[in-house]
Amino acid sequence: MIIAKADVVVTSPGRNFVTLRLETEDGLVGWGDATVNGRELAVVSYLRDHVVPLLAGRDAGRIEDTWQFLYRGAYWRRGPITMAAIAAVDMALWDIKGKAAGMPVYQLLGGASRNGLLAYGHASGRDLPEIFDSVREHLSQGYRAIRVQAAVPGLRSIYGIAANTAEDGVRYDHEPAQRGALPAEEDWDTRSYLRHLPTVFEAVRAEFGPGLPLLHDAHHRLTPIQAAKLAKSLEPYDLFWLEDVTPAENPEALRPVRQHSVTPLAIGEVFNTVWDYQQLVREQLIDYVRGAVTHMGGITPLKKTLEYAAQYQIKSGMHGPTDISPVGMAAAMHLGLSIHNFGIQEYMKHDARTDAVFRQSFTWENGYLHPGDEPGLGVSLELDEAGKYPYQQAYLPYNRLADGTVHDW
Ligand code: GCO
Ligand code: MG
């Protein structure tokens, strides 16, 4: 099983995706996701210029060794671009190993620890009637756990609100990174948000009852004491988790949040390695690990990270918005099915064009995902279909406060 060639495919069926294709001398093909939203071409260059030339001639069966070679051999360790590139190689090698063995990847990882993966979707709205409609729509699609994001009175547009009106166009549902030469500017006011959000959760809880798991994402915007205040004020509404309350760089910021509340905390969609989690896990400052297979360097290191977290009863909550390609989602599903400490999987459906580019074999039934039983990851990219959608420049939005200061988005 020698790697014969490696190619990078860039396609934009509604949004940009970067996918690595590995092929062995005996004709097995493996796919890996390397998409970093809004910075896609940097990973393309990292792969094409620095990784692809190293792969031909290597033994495709040596997944751990290849991972260590790419991680340690680069000398410049970590970082989103490097780790997404390594992740794509790792995923593609697991895909090949599964195909060679005639088994789905979850079998190679130890077999299923459960029948399916509880998944949550994204409800949102500008006011309570819109939010209730959005929650109902998600329930009717089978979701059994729902993230709720609400517009804040006085702010024009903020993270996580699907804009479904004719004037705004549909933006967030499938494409948080907006196509165009420059990023969109959004606005932010923490005091208004902290006042408003508990009223939304009070209403949603009253409308949908005590049983429905509800989640919320603060998207890195609060100081430690503001985050503690939010976590405490949301306690009566029994959240499944509160995500990314403080910026990811400083693990210590979560200490005051822990000291003041029992709202479960999730963090890590922008993390790249186990080192980003080390203190958070050891000090039990979080309850869920949000890393994506695509951004944590692949299945190999995320499995190790989650096993470390398991020692502290911390569970998985892998990142799964539409900027994780179907290949990255499949990798998350195989890993989630096999580990003991699975918590929940984020699942935001891709649009029809993306589903036509990536042939997929996972199932979605009664609120549970399953990666399916095809050998490997169970996803393949249709090159002809992908070729119809050339790359388009796209940026994530950014934020300014009322006085013009740039804030965390
Ligand atoms: C989530 C995330 C995403 C990110 C996006 C950025 O919880 O799903 O916060 O919506 O904003 O992945 O690329
Ligand atoms: Mg998030």
Q: How many angstroms is it from 217 CA to the middle of ligand 1?
A: 9
Name, in order, each residue with C-beta under 8 angstroms of 164's C-beta and a sequence gap of 6 or more: 170, 173
User: Which ligand sits closest to the CA of 175?
Assistant: 1
Cα Rg of the chain (Å, integer)? 21
Instruction: State what percent of residues in the chain have pLDDT above 90.
Output: 93
SS3 254: helix
Which residue from 39, 173, 219 has its CB within 8 A of the most atoms of ligand 1, so it is best to mutate? 219
Model confidence at 127, in pLDDT bands (50, 70, 90)? very high
C-alpha pair distances (Å), 380 with each of 6, 10, 43, 345 = 15, 14, 20, 21
Residue 165's pLDDT is 44
Average pLDDT over residues 342-360: 96
For atom 9 of ligand 1, the residue with the nearest CA is 219
Degrees (nearest 5) of the Cα angle 235, 348, 39?
A: 105
Q: Which long-range contacts (CB under 8 A, 24 or more apart) does 127-134 make?
A: 127/151, 128/200, 128/203, 131/200, 131/203, 131/204, 132/204, 132/207, 134/162
Range name among 1-5, 39-43, 170-174, 332-336 with the lowest pLDDT average: 170-174
pLDDT beyond 80 at 169: no
For atom 13 of ligand 1, the residue with the nearest CA is 37
User: Which ligand sits closest to the CA of 319?
Assistant: 1
Between helix 190-208 and helix 128-140 the angle, nearest 10°, is 50
pLDDT beyond 90 at 117: yes
- Annotated catalytic sites, by residue? 159, 219
* Tokens linked to 355: 């589903």
Torsion sign, CA atoms 338, 117, 79, 263: negative
* Atom in ligand 1 nearest the alpha carbon of residue 324: 12
278/349 Cα distance (integer angstroms): 31
In the chain, the domains with their CATH numbers are 3-103 (3.30.390.10), 117-407 (3.20.20.120)
Residue 245's pLDDT is 98
Strand-pair partners of 364: 369
C-alpha pair distances (Å), 249 with each of 231, 288, 351 = 19, 17, 32
pTM, whole model, 2 decimals?
Answer: 0.96
Contact 375, 104 (CB under 8 A): yes
Which residue from 323, 324, 345, 396 has its CB within 8 A of the most atoms of ligand 1, so it is best to mutate? 323
Mean pLDDT, the chain, as a whole number? 95
Residue 163's pLDDT is 57
Each residue's pLDDT tens digit, 203-245: 999 999 999 999 999 999 999 999 999 999 999 999 999 999 9
C-alpha pair distances (Å), 383 with each of 28, 35, 356, 387, 389 = 16, 17, 11, 6, 10
Each residue's pLDDT tens digit, 378-400: 999 999 999 999 999 999 999 99
Each residue's pLDDT tens digit, 244-258: 999 989 999 999 999
Q: How many angstroms is it from 159 CA to the middle of ligand 2?
A: 10
257/253 Cα distance (integer angstroms): 8
Please indicate whether residue 176, judged by its CB atom, sits closer than 6 Å to ligand 1: yes
Average pLDDT over residues 5-22: 97
Please indicate whether residue 32, judged by its CB atom, sits closer than 6 Å to ligand 1: no
Residue 396's pLDDT is 93
Each residue's pLDDT tens digit, 305-344: 999 999 999 999 999 999 999 999 999 999 999 999 999 9
Please indicate whether residue 346, judged by its CB atom, sits closer than 6 Å to ligand 1: yes
SS3 385: helix
40/43 Cα distance (integer angstroms): 6
Residue 162's pLDDT is 72
Average pLDDT over residues 279-296: 98
